[in-house]
Amino acid sequence: MTQRFENILFLGHEFAARSMFHACDIESVAFLPARAQPQSYDLIISFFQLHQANDVPGLLRQYHAMLRKNGLFMACCFGENTLHELREALMQAEVLTRGGAAQRTLPMIGLRDAAALLQHTGFDGPVADGETVQASYPRLFSLLHDLRGMAETNLTSGARQPLSRRALAEACKGYAEKYSNKNNQLQATFDVLFWHGWRA
């Protein structure tokens, strides 16, 4: 790619934006600029924020409108298999301890859905790919600590009731029984999606 991108909108943590880009006009925000103007940017990068959005198609339409002609949208985010071990352990623990389960993890975008979403919201040449990263933790609380540090604890409104101590203990037990590796470390899956599309 030889195209030069001079006006960039970075959607994600400002520290990541400043460490990746130099010698360009870059604006860093969480989801949308306060005064989003049509056709303002040559490049929009979404860095691990789309999976936290309530209305992904709506955001994509706005990002498309904010791109100039021949502008590029690029994104990476967590995909649908992310933390499936944790999701299963928490659900089974709550069903066992109180007869029902709240949604404790965010719903994620599937790989097949990503390119379709780009096409549906007006982008040309949509491409999506994925990579699975396997992490390991000595115990469940270590994983939860990392998730809090990443600001990736549950953002949904459905999990208003906190986990009971009994449910948390059952989740730790169930997770360890089913998803421990040969070194007795807990496995945690992070499904990362990479996608991009152009404005014609």
The helix/strand/coil state of 152 is coil
> Over the stretch 135-151, which tens digit does the pLDDT of each residue have?
999 999 999 999 988 87
Whether 79 contacts 109, CB under 8 Å = yes
Architecture of domain 7-198: 3-Layer(aba) Sandwich (3.40)
**CB contact at 8 A, 51 and 80:** no
Average pLDDT estimate for 14-40: 59
Percent of the chain surpassing pLDDT 90: 62
Eight-state DSSP code of residue 162: P
- Both tokens assigned to 11: 């959607």
**Domain ranges within the chain, ordered by starting residue:** 7-198
Measured between alpha carbons, how far is 171 from 150 in angstroms, rounded to an integer? 21
Lowest mean pLDDT among 53-57, 82-86, 193-197: 53-57
Note the pTM of the prediction, 2 decimals. 0.83
